[in-house]
Structure 1
Amino acid sequence: MTPNTSAPSRRSFLASTAVAAAVTGGMPLLAACGGSGSGSKEGTTSGKDAQKVLPAFVAQNVVTPDIASKNGSAAGFTSKMSLAELKTSVPQKLGKGSTIKIMSPFWGSPPKSSNPYYSAMNKVIGAELVWQNQDGNTYDEKLGAVLASSDMPDVVVIPSWNMGGKIPSAIISKFADLGPYLSGDKVKEYPNLAAIPSDAWQYAIFGGKLRGLPQPAPTVTGIVPFYRKDVFDKEGYELPTSAEEFLALAKDITNAKAKVWACDDMKWTAFNIFGVLSGGEKPLGWNLVDGKLIYRVETDEYLEALEWTRKLYAAGVVHPDAKAVNQGNAGQRFTDGQVLMYNQNISDWWGKMAEQATQNKDFRISGMDIFGHDGGDPELWAGSPAGIFAFINKKASKAVIHDVLAAANVTAAPYGTKEYMLTNYGVEGTHYTVKDGTPVKTDKGNTEVLNAYVMLASPAPTIAHPDFPDIAKEQVQWQQRMGAFTKKSSFFGLQITEPARYTNLSNDFEQLEDDVVRGRKKISDMQQAVSDWKSQGGGKLRDWYKKLLDDNGSAQG
């Protein structure tokens, strides 16, 4: 799992969000009708059953964003930062002195455990958090072993992309029910947790119980078709408004002799412009159409998106290294000017600007609006309202659970507060300095204030880049425009545990997609795979999901 590779996978898009949060100190850009099955290891919980366990929502009013959330977007902050004006959202430490061992994925080199950042955070929390950081790229392997052992840490952080196989069942059997501490008005003891959107909490219900502390995410797609605005402006290229115009523009841009190609792999953008149901999480790939549940791979839109992407490769407008899937780095090819368009997580909007600020002062990245393939409005599908969760060992004492929640109440502090600055930037003077209203990390900040505490819990989705406020504004406005065309599929916002016999049923589709668009397999091979999927359990899985929907209703119901 390597963010920003040439052929992005579902996992790399999700991971890049967490990495962006950790490395830049920004917020993750990783947000009723009857119910049943509250004690089951498979199924879901919605409606009245969900309402019984959901925390009360109490909007946070400590700070006011410059751009309010709209259409499923993050909130945006675009003004300069003044340390003197930072608010306090945790007036007194709530921790009671427990020692808490936390296992979490980590991208990069973990700092020494005895460092000023960890010490300062633990002092504010009032507990001793001990981080057992594991390589995020191989977290799957470690996670399975730890969950199967009898010696599990107090807290385990699990990203949604690591929830394959038997992990969901392990979550239900191994982790504590937080309902007695957070359901209803109980959450008000932890005001920053009370301000987490209800959709994110709904998605943290596993096996009928509130088990996860969520990192809320915007529900609008996080995959942006980026383009080199500086080059487009210079050359007079006009942004395409249809699939046909994109291909025509791509042919116009491409000059292989000059080592310039129009784009990198655009499969994920193709899914969006053709209105394909989400591939982010399996339940989001199902939708009720005219009384029948349809899975994303069965749709005409799915095949049309693959065929269009295939045309890009066939026309020679895709960088040749993209054909190899893992050859080189799409983001690097973009900044080098070898490709003028690529798709990646929205975090790259700021990431690439910050990276190039000292290398190429003319560099300008921007995101094009997603268009409908025929030139009309796009039909987009909402993603999951949370992407990463922290779970507490069910063997943990009440004191430990309380102190974990106290810690999460600090890390979930909103932008514009002292607690947010400490969590995301560390100690002023040690880990960062502020120049012209912009916090700048020191070398110590870049090595110590990484993806540890931010993995415990987060506030409502926020975008803020004091160094590039215009980028923050563009990101939020892009989300809001795309959010206006975003729909919620039938199982949006429901944490669903599929029966174990179906867990791996659709695992091979992503590889086959990559082979089809690159010309190594045919569209007919995909059609055969879909037929095999149906006969090997897809049809029965459809019946299972249909009964789930009939019995529970949707989260919106």
Structure 2
Amino acid sequence: MTPNSSSSPSRRSFLASTAVVVAAVGGGIPLLAACGGSGNEKTEGTTTGKKLKGLLPAYVPSQAVTPDIPSKNGSAIGFTTAKPAGQLAVSVPKKLGKGGEVSIMAPLWGTSPGTGNAYWTAMDEASGVKVKWQNQDGNVYGQKLGAVLASSNVPDAVVVPGWELNGKIPSAIANKFADLGPYLAGDKVKAYPNLAAIPTGAWQRAVFGGKLRGLPMPAESTPNIAPFYSPGFFEEKGYEVPTTTQEFFDLCKEMNAPKSKVWACGDMTWSAFAFFGALPEKPHYWQLVDGELVNRYETDEYLEALEWSRSLYSAGFVHPDVKAEQGDQKNLFSSGKLRMYNADISDWYGATAVQRLADPKFSMAAMDIFAHDGGKPRLYAGSPSNIWCFISEKADRKKIEEVLALANFTAAPYGTKEQRLKAYGVEGVHHTVKDGVITKTEDGNNEVFATYEYIASPAAFRAFPDHPDVAKGMVEWQQRQGAHTQKPLFHGMQVQEPARYAELNAQFEDLEKDIVRGRKKISDMQRHVSDWRSRGGDNLRDWYKKLLDETGDSAS
């Protein structure tokens, strides 16, 4: 169900796999043509302040369900139990769909169950909207997405992940998809209560080309990369969880045992960026220093993180499969061949669910992110939404309302009949519930894939009734990290850089991999940054500075 994972995946494939796991389980001005130079004024820049506020739906929190673990410091809400069907809440008491048919294109990691299957049939009946799915291989979704948006044959609705916002896709969104403001802005959204319960920040990121065009899949604002370890192994050996990068290095030295085919860690570069307080990815990769914008790639923290990660490789602490960019770090960790690794927080559940089938005592945990020197960590809030569903501009009012009716159904919160059907299918056919634990049947595993989640989802939640300790541990970890999280520049904004800069940053990721593995030097990165500045980095800096001066540093 998830994409093929490698020991050191690209950021795009990493984000894709993250989305699958998560799904399965504003005195502003209009869009800034001035910042775009000779670019497309409809697609460059951002929308903030009063202009943005006038586009957004009202926020009316759902009262349908009370979580077992409330949100704190930007964390998800958590659920540790699954109620019997008779005790589930109802968030869509009246079917809003009118029986119309809509075509939807979405990524799928897995094999499509095919038309007429019991899951899709049940969802069609419950929502009142018949969906004609056009699922595409998630691993190459961007290629298909670009081709479809370049054609005149665009489905009624199309899912676009944030990692595919490259090339001409942002301009296609502004030109090919409908303005949903007339249906959802302000109090209009109250006709769709579950959409009204989606947090405002998620909607802010759904504004493209100065219009509300997307239906969002909300995300937590807390960090999503976690350094994992085995509490049982640490306790057995008397190891302490490290609180500085030197302690981490020393611990690696103590536990590394290559002669026994056991290595201390996997590639820790993503965690290293957090340990050293490096700025996040674009468009949030700027900080204001003495009135001037400084890019992530120009900071000492960025280079120091690479140098430290490189030291783990050069000391022989990193598993050779990881160094060769082969294998799967999660599997190597689960089998005891490496002792620590970093990945998306969702790996916590994914690995636990698999390993406990054979070993009920299996446990893993995420260590708190520390500052490299033992001080308070400097972490940055993530984007409030990163996946959106758009409706074709050719769709008439009836078609748009059918998609919105379906979105209201799919955005139902955990603990409702609607969410149970969407996530698990029909009880007795696709899943069973016993002693508060939901178990999928063979038909459930073959038919119930993450597709409907991408149309619209509720506020971020983590629900693992089969492994409640993981749900509790995961949300509490987010809460602790959230206490050290700050908003980066341009937080919550849907910023679209001019197309002429689309390939400006393309080589950084590969160079990072080469440096930490010893194939290149830090000086090579410094030269590349100098080249980046002359090839357009300085001009891009000026573009962002103008954006900052005219819109402010965040969406609201």
Same fold (TM over 0.5): yes
Give the equivalent residue in structure 2 for 1:320.
320
Q: What letter matches 1:503 in structure 2?
A: A
- Please give the residue correspondences for 1:227-376 in structure 2 after superposition, counting only pairs within 5 Å: 227-279=229-281, 282-325=282-325, 327-376=326-375
Q: What letter matches 1:35 in structure 2?
A: I
- 1:12 equivalenced with 2:13 (yes/no): yes
Q: 1:80 Cα deviation (Å)?
A: 4.3
Q: Deviations over 1:257-287 (max 9, x none)?
A: 00110100000000000001112xx111122
The TM-score with structure 1 as length reference comes to 0.96
Distance in 1, Cα, partners of 2:31 & 2:413: 35
Q: State the SS of the aligned residue for 1:416.
A: coil
Q: What letter matches 1:328 in structure 2?
A: G
Q: Deviations over 1:236-256 (max 9, x none)?
A: 111100000000000101000
Q: What letter matches 2:276 in structure 1?
A: F
Q: What letter matches 1:425 in structure 2?
A: Y
Q: What letter matches 1:222 in structure 2?
A: N
Give the equivalent residue in structure 1 for 2:222.
220
Which of 85, 88, 99 is equivalent to 1:86? 88
Distance in 1, Cα, partners of 2:439 & 2:475: 22
Distance in 2, Cα, partners of 1:381 & 1:97: 44
Distance in 1, Cα, partners of 2:72 & 2:347: 21
Distance in 1, Cα, partners of 2:47 & 2:428: 47
- Please give the residue correspondences for 1:102-181 in structure 2 after superposition, counting only pairs within 5 Å: 102-181=104-183
Q: What letter matches 1:302 in structure 2?
A: Y
Give the equivalent residue in structure 2 for 1:415.
414
Give the equivalent residue in structure 2 for 1:511.
510
- Please give the residue correspondences for 1:522-541 in structure 2 after superposition, counting only pairs within 5 Å: 522-541=521-540
Give the equivalent residue in structure 2 for 1:187.
189
Q: List structure 1 segments (4+ residues) > 4 angstroms apart after TM superposition.
A: none
Q: 1:163 Cα deviation (Å)?
A: 1.1
Q: Deviations over 1:268-317 (max 9, x none)?
A: 000000001112xx111122233211111110000000000000000000
Distance in 2, Cα, partners of 1:357 & 1:11: 29
Deviates more, 1:513-522 or 1:7-16: 7-16
- 1:57 equivalenced with 2:59 (yes/no): yes
Distance in 2, Cα, partners of 1:195 & 1:3: 34
Assess if the C-alpha contact under 8 Å between 2:216 and 2:388 holds in 1: yes
Assess if the C-alpha contact under 8 Å between 1:4 and 1:344 holds in 2: no
Q: What letter matches 1:294 in structure 2?
A: V
Give the alignment's Cα RMSD to 1 decimal.
1.2
Assess if the C-alpha contact under 8 Å between 2:276 and 2:304 holds in 1: yes
Q: What letter matches 1:461 in structure 2?
A: A
Q: State the SS of the aligned residue for 2:400.
A: helix
Distance in 2, Cα, partners of 1:12 & 1:278: 17
Assess if the C-alpha contact under 8 Å between 1:3 and 1:15 holds in 2: no
Distance in 1, Cα, partners of 2:395 & 2:443: 33
Distance in 2, Cα, partners of 1:234 & 1:169: 56
The TM-score with structure 2 as length reference comes to 0.97
Which of 29, 37, 42 is equivalent to 2:31? 37
Give the equivalent residue in structure 2 for 1:29.
none
Q: What letter matches 2:230 in structure 1?
A: R
Q: What letter matches 1:162 in structure 2?
A: E
Distance in 2, Cα, partners of 1:290 & 1:274: 21
Q: State the SS of the aligned residue for 2:99.
A: coil
Q: State the SS of the aligned residue for 2:343.
A: strand
Deviates more, 1:162-171 or 1:7-16: 7-16
Give the equivalent residue in structure 1 for 2:78.
76
Distance in 2, Cα, partners of 1:407 & 1:155: 11
Q: What letter matches 1:75 in structure 2?
A: I
Give the paired residue count.
547
Distance in 1, Cα, partners of 2:83 & 2:411: 19
Q: What letter matches 1:417 in structure 2?
A: T
Q: 1:374 Cα deviation (Å)?
A: 0.3
Q: State the SS of the aligned residue for 1:390.
A: strand
Distance in 1, Cα, partners of 2:414 & 2:497: 36
Q: 1:41 Cα deviation (Å)?
A: 1.6
Distance in 1, Cα, partners of 2:105 & 2:247: 48
**Measured at CA, do residues 274 and 415 of structure 1 come closer, stay the same or move farther in structure 2, by a change above 3 Å?**
same
Q: State the SS of the aligned residue for 2:54.
A: helix
Assess if the C-alpha contact under 8 Å between 1:432 and 1:439 holds in 2: yes
Q: State the SS of the aligned residue for 2:133.
A: strand
Q: Unmatched 5+ residue regions in structure 1?
A: 27-31
Q: 1:401 Cα deviation (Å)?
A: 0.5
Q: What letter matches 1:50 in structure 2?
A: L
Q: 1:129 Cα deviation (Å)?
A: 0.6
Q: 1:97 Cα deviation (Å)?
A: 1.8
Assess if the C-alpha contact under 8 Å between 1:227 and 1:366 holds in 2: yes
- Please give the residue correspondences for 1:446-461 in structure 2 after superposition, counting only pairs within 5 Å: 446-461=445-460
Q: What letter matches 2:64 in structure 1?
A: V
Distance in 2, Cα, partners of 1:149 & 1:339: 47
Assess if the C-alpha contact under 8 Å between 1:491 and 1:555 holds in 2: yes
**Measured at CA, do residues 33 and 271 of structure 1 come closer, stay the same or move farther in structure 2, by a change above 3 Å?**
farther
Q: Deviations over 1:309-368 (max 9, x none)?
A: 00000000000111112x111111011100011111111111111001122233211100
Q: What letter matches 1:209 in structure 2?
A: K
Q: What letter matches 1:16 in structure 2?
A: S
Q: 1:13 Cα deviation (Å)?
A: 3.0
Q: 1:556 Cα deviation (Å)?
A: 5.1
Assess if the C-alpha contact under 8 Å between 1:21 and 1:451 holds in 2: no
Distance in 2, Cα, partners of 1:49 & 1:10: 32
Give the equivalent residue in structure 1 for 2:36.
none
Deviates more, 1:8-17 or 1:497-506: 8-17
Q: 1:377 Cα deviation (Å)?
A: 1.2
Assess if the C-alpha contact under 8 Å between 2:462 and 2:475 holds in 1: yes
Q: 1:82 Cα deviation (Å)?
A: 2.7
Deviates more, 1:40-49 or 1:284-293: 284-293
Give the equivalent residue in structure 1 for 2:99.
97
